[in-house]
């Protein structure tokens, strides 16, 4: 099973709302990632968790807050977002070493109004 699941598929939120994106994998992977993808652009790395610890934060604004409750779950908490944060948010997982491929989830399409 090489599946990464993400919920919800679509999310519309106002700029004062608080919401969370969820990601789950059951492949035993020890690295998990959040990416942001704008239309017609490649994914941009936001955060990396390795063995449930935040290892990379690509200077993401604090209105995005990641959380890794256990080795299978990854959350992205959203608060006070801006309309320019509207994008496809992708979660991925891998075994963690540089030669290992990343498996992506289907993404959450976020619209900030």
Which residues contact another protein by CB under 8 A? 4, 6, 31, 33, 40-43, 45, 48, 56, 88, 90, 92, 96-99, 101-107, 109
Closest to another protein by CB, 60 vs 103, is 103
Contacts of 16 (CB under 8 A, 6+ apart): 80
Q: How many CB atoms lie within 10 A of CB 76?
A: 23
- State the minimum distance, in angstroms, from the CB of residue 16 to another protein: 27
Closest to another protein by CB, 33 vs 64, is 33
Alpha-carbon distances of 55 from 8, 51, 82, rounded to whole Å: 25, 9, 26
């Amino acid at each position: 099973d090489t599946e990464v699941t993400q919920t919800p598929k679509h999310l519309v939120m106002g700029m004062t709302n608080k919401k969370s994106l969820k990601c789950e994998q059951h492949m035993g992977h020890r690295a998990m990632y959040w990416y942001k993808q704008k239309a017609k652009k490649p994914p941009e790395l936001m955060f990396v968790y390795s063995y449930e610890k935040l290892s990379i934060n690509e200077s993401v604004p604090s209105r995005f807050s990641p959380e890794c409750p256990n080795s299978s779950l990854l959350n992205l908490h959203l608060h006070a977002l801006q309309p320019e944060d509207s994008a496809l948010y992708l979660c991925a997982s891998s075994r963690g070493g540089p030669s290992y491929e990343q498996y992506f989830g289907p993404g959450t399409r976020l619209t900030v109004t």
